[in-house]
Amino acid sequence: MRVLHVAAEIFPLVKTGGLADVLGALPQALIGQGADARLLLPGLPAIVDAVSHQKVVFEIGPCFGAARVTLRLGRMPYSKVPAYVVDAPHLYRRPGSPYQASDGSEWPDNAQRFALLGWVGAHLASGELDPAWMPQVLHAHDWHAAMSCAYLAAHPPATVATVFTVHNLAYQGLFPSGDFALLGLPARFMAPSGLEFHNQLSFMKAGLKFAQHVTTVSPTYAKEIATHEFGFGLDGVIRGRGADVSGVLNGVDGTIWDPATDTGLAARYSADQLAGKARCKQALQAELGLAARADAPVFGVVSRLTSQKGLDLVLAALPGLLQRGAQLALQGAGDPALESAFVAVAKANPGKAAVRIGYDEAFAHRLIAGADAILVPSRFEPCGLTQLYGLRYGTLPVVRRVGGLADTVVDSTESALHEDRATGFTFDAATPAALDAAIQRAIDTHAQPERWRQLMRRAMAQDFSWAGAAQKYMALYDELASRQASLR
């Protein structure tokens, strides 16, 4: 099975969220299942510099406002997965994030930048750019790659099946309707049945409308986005796709996230040998200046500091958490007001709360390994990876029961504890009181060491490897490719 993954980010080269982790792991897992999987990535500086053995595949020339566009093929530096790179210096070789300048403003030509990525994806998939390799399935990820589905639909019949994965519906790739003229699509595509969305142009809608199958990163999220509450105005489009929308739960890369082999930890440990977990906690408390108390449960946060992630709920619940003798260890960045508020809490509570603004991958590992519990109180959460890392490290998740959080954490009810199924603590209402009640249950359980160890061992026994997700995707690819072949 030949599969082309089109995306704007990939770990460890370019990362703003979980999308990069998925692209860093899923193609490798598919190759492990026997697929011939390749990547198509924009020529961002970190990507152009790191992809090895690049050779020119096609000189595209002037395109989407770029004077020169070249398609190259190389290999990822760590996984050796084959990767096509769209080298367009005018559009991609810039400082800042893939989507924003260093001051946080959106790049004004993002429509052209990501239309080009989709255009190259479509033409590569149709065999026009690399005659030596043509995929059976094009798999586009999030709005940045969604236009590949529209460009393929504009020139039927296509011989390639298409899958579009929604990683986060909140980010939709919205542009002024006048930008449609830059895309080179037939006029019929700028209609409510196409890309038009409330007098704007929606790249996300391109994937939702024109991919043969739409997936999300968890089964529960696939259901949620068809509702008004979670659909961000696109729920009607999603409901209209019916059975063509499904969820495949993300996995965890066990070569990166494994406390038994993680060399960055103060001590390594496993479900059978938990002593190292206590040493990791001691090291974290020392590193952050928290009081060296084994009996004080450490609640960790590794997150964007936004209301979507429920960090305002954490802030409101913090007084109760600290009054009960627990500690907070937080790493994150985002809303300046939330950043300032958390920093103020840490200054006012030395030895009890510690905050690091920013993101450091190595420190994230140490924090998750050293904390007793991990807070993920999201208002919505397509999949969530932090709680999966927590489970793998025996750091019990405290989560709101939405999206992938609902699919991966089993609440510590009496029946679940009795049946040895419980892996964390969940709550329903997006309120400080509901989060506070879940935190209280976690603190009460932490005071029962044998029960806490039972929860840790059950959490660490969960299998959220990428192999399971890859098997589900391979079955979907086979079905779609067979269906597409029957139409020829």
- Residue 399: which region, alpha, beta or left (left: phi > 0; alpha: psi -120 to 50)? beta
Mean pLDDT of 292-318: 96
Is the alpha carbon torsion for 433, 435, 438, 439 positive or negative? negative
What confidence score (pLDDT) does residue 439 get? 98
In a domain, 270, yes or no: no
Considering the domain architecture, whether residues 477 and 439 belong to the same structural domain is answered as no
Considering the domain architecture, whether residues 288 and 173 belong to the same structural domain is answered as no
% of the chain exceeding 70 in pLDDT:
99
- How far apart CA 57 and CA 73 sit, in angstroms, is 6
Considering the domain architecture, whether residues 473 and 324 belong to the same structural domain is answered as no
Mean pLDDT of 351-377: 97
> Residue 416: is it exposed, middle or buried by C-beta count within 10 angstroms (0-12/13-18/19+)?
middle
Considering the domain architecture, whether residues 86 and 104 belong to the same structural domain is answered as yes
Residues 6+ away with beta carbon under 8 Å from 448: none
Considering the domain architecture, whether residues 279 and 240 belong to the same structural domain is answered as no
In a domain, 261, yes or no: no
Q: Would you say 81 and 75 are in contact if contact means Cβ atoms under 8 Å apart?
A: yes
Range of the domain at 244: 2-251+467-486
Taking only the tens place, the pLDDT of each residue in 396-407 is 999 999 999 999
pLDDT band at 379 (very low <50, low <70, confident <90, very high): very high
What confidence score (pLDDT) does residue 214 get? 98
% of the chain exceeding 90 in pLDDT:
93
Considering the domain architecture, whether residues 227 and 303 belong to the same structural domain is answered as no
What confidence score (pLDDT) does residue 157 get? 62
Considering the domain architecture, whether residues 7 and 110 belong to the same structural domain is answered as yes
Q: How high is the mean pLDDT of the chain?
A: 96
In a domain, 267, yes or no: no
**Statement: residue 87 has pLDDT above 80:** yes
Taking only the tens place, the pLDDT of each residue in 226-255 is 999 999 999 999 999 999 999 999 999 888
Residue type (1 letter), 469? A
In a domain, 377, yes or no: yes
What confidence score (pLDDT) does residue 165 get? 98
Considering the domain architecture, whether residues 295 and 442 belong to the same structural domain is answered as yes
Q: Would you say 447 and 236 are in contact if contact means Cβ atoms under 8 Å apart?
A: no
**Statement: residue 159 has pLDDT above 90:** no
Mean pLDDT of 320-332: 98
What confidence score (pLDDT) does residue 488 get? 63
Report the CATH number that the domain containing residue 73 is assigned in CATH: 3.40.50.2000
In a domain, 428, yes or no: yes
Q: What is the DSSP letter of 188?
A: G
**Statement: residue 71 has pLDDT above 70:** yes
Considering the domain architecture, whether residues 202 and 288 belong to the same structural domain is answered as no
Question: Which tokens sit at 61?
Answer: 């020339």
Taking only the tens place, the pLDDT of each residue in 455-485 is 999 999 999 999 999 999 999 999 999 988 7
What confidence score (pLDDT) does residue 454 get? 96
- How far apart CA 423 and CA 354 sit, in angstroms, is 26
In a domain, 455, yes or no: yes
**Statement: residue 78 has pLDDT above 90:** no
Considering the domain architecture, whether residues 383 and 432 belong to the same structural domain is answered as yes
What confidence score (pLDDT) does residue 429 get? 97
Considering the domain architecture, whether residues 228 and 369 belong to the same structural domain is answered as no
In a domain, 208, yes or no: yes
Query: Which pTM value belongs to this model?
Result: 0.92
Total domains in the fold of the chain? 2
What confidence score (pLDDT) does residue 237 get? 97
What confidence score (pLDDT) does residue 226 get? 97
Considering the domain architecture, whether residues 346 and 212 belong to the same structural domain is answered as no
Q: Are strands 161-166 and 137-141 parallel, antiparallel or unpaired?
A: parallel
Length of the chain: 488
